[in-house]
Each structure stands twice: as structure tokens, then as C-alpha cells.
Chains A and B, each alone.
Chain A
Amino acid sequence: KQEVTQIPAALSVPEGENLVLNCSFTDSAIYNLQWFRQDPGKGLTSLLLIQSSQREQTSGRLNASLDKSSGRSTLYIAASQPGDSATYLCAPPSGSARQLTFGSGTQLTVLP
């Protein structure tokens, strides 16, 4: 059974900082991994999909890496802004239906 751990659980940084969010998972037999953003009381916004054949995937100020062998993924956010404040969720797939297993997330606060 896939289990996902995200560290840190919460992070508060001043605007402009570069930061790294960590995700570890137990079942490394994955084809890809998705990172999501969730604002309070809202739905899930897909940020990045990184394939198992890729080492990195970039979208704007976001960069995700994936190391299947060690069961880790990181999300790098460059030049953080107050609008980046949200909970970031890591979700590798598992099972024959490739359903996603979500971590508890990292709650990010970027202070102006």
C-alpha cells in the first residue's frame, strides 16, 4: 500500500525566498507523480506532472524532481510570492487503476 509523507508540514517564509518541499513515498513502482496546490476550502489545482523517466519538470517558478529509486520527490519554488500561500500536495499513483495517494501536504505561508 502506497504511503506518502510530506516534510515540512508547515513552512513560513518571507517573500522572495527560494524553498523546497519534500515528498517521500513507499511504493516506487510508479509511472509518474503529480503535485497539487490547494487553497483553504477549495479544490485541487494540478501544478506539475513528472514522469518516472524524467528527472525534472518545470513550470514557471516551479520545478519538480523525482527519484524513484529512493522514493522521493521535491518541489522547488523560486522567488516565492504571497500568492503562493497554499497547501501543496504530493500524489503518486498506485494500484491497477492508478488512483492517487495523497500526502498530508505542506502548508506554505509567504509573508509580504
Chain B
Amino acid sequence: EPEVTQTPSHQVTQMGQEVILRCVPISNHLYFYWYRQILGQKVEFLVSFYNNEISEKSEIFDDQFSVERPDGSNFTLKIRSTKLEDSAMYFCASRSGRVYNEQFFGPGTRLTVL
């Protein structure tokens, strides 16, 4: 069964460093998403990506964040200069183009900023 994959599973970085989180969405899906979950808090939407551009973003997704689909399979989230408060679990999700369909989530990347 097709699945969303994410790498790495755990990333530890120093404050101020850049990190890139990687995702491989399900093949033939058209919509891609990043969410994050700070420990003990709700899952929050960050950004959606469709047709090679951002379709929606939340207020969390500021200039420190960027997304890219560098080839036909990968979808990346970059944080330019990490802060302590960026420590969270980051989930990638994708869905096909049909209106009624569900989102499929990856296993997540746990980001720890020291």
C-alpha cells in the first residue's frame, strides 16, 4: 500500500542552524502539506502546496520557513535559522486531487533544537 515517507525520523540541531526536512508523498497525489505538533499541544497546519506553489499558509509559516518540490517525488520543508521553539514533530501529508478524499500522513520527523 502506498505511504508517505519522511526523513530523518529525528533531527537534532543547534539554534540558528538551517534544517531541511524531507518527505516523499504518495505518487500521483497533487496536494502536499506540512503540519507540526509541539510536545503536548495540538497538531497545527503550517503550509499547503499545489501546482508547484504555496496555496495556503498559516501565521506560523513566517519568512524562516520555506517549502520546495525539487523533483517529481520529494517535498521539503526548510527552516533557515532554527529557534528553540521550533522543536516539534513535523508531519508531512498528501492527498489526491479529488474533493472528497483523505489526507495521508507520514510518520513524522522529530526536530530538537538545542
Binding site for B on A (CB under 8 A): 31-32, 34, 36, 42-44, 46, 49, 51, 89, 91, 95-105
Whether B73 sits at the interface, judged by CB under 8 Å, is no
Tell me whether A46 and B100 are in contact in the complex, defined as CB-CB below 8 angstroms, given that A89-B43, A97-B31 are known contacts: no
Question: What is the bound-complex CA distance between A67 and B28, given in angstroms?
Answer: 31
Contacts of A51 on B, CB cut-off 8 Å? 100
A55 to B31, CA, bound (A): 27
What A residues does B48 contact at CB under 8 A? 95, 97, 99
Q: How far is the CA of A47 from the CA of B108 in the complex (A)?
A: 17
Number of chain B residues close to chain A: CB under 8 A? 25
Say yes or no: A100 contacts B45, CB within 8 Å. Answer: yes
Interface residues of B (CB under 8 A from A): 31, 33, 35, 42-45, 48, 50, 55-56, 89, 91, 93, 95, 99-108
Name which residue of chain B comes closest to A99, CB basis. B45
Q: What are 5 A-to-B residue pairs whose CB atoms are below 8 Å?
A: A46-B103, A95-B56, A97-B56, A100-B93, A105-B42
**CA–CA, A6 to B56, complex, Å?**
25
* A43 touching B43, Cβ below 8 Å: no
- Distance, CA A70 to CA B42, complexed state (A): 23
What is the bound-complex CA distance between A31 and B102, given in angstroms? 10
The listed residue with most B CB atoms (<10 A of its CB), out of A43, A99, A103, A105, is A99
Give Cα A33–Cα B111 distance, bound, in whole angstroms: 28
State whether A99 touches B33 (Cβ < 8 A): yes
Q: How many angstroms between the C-alpha atoms of A96 and B107 in the bound complex?
A: 25
Please, how many angstroms separate the alpha-carbon atoms of A98 and B100 in the complex?
A: 10
A44 in complex: contacting residue of B45, B56, B91, CB < 8 Å: B91
Q: Which of A46, A95, A96, A99 contacts B102 (CB 8 A)?
A: A46
Closest to B40 in A: A104
Q: Shortest CB–CB separation between residue B64 and chain A, in angstroms?
A: 20
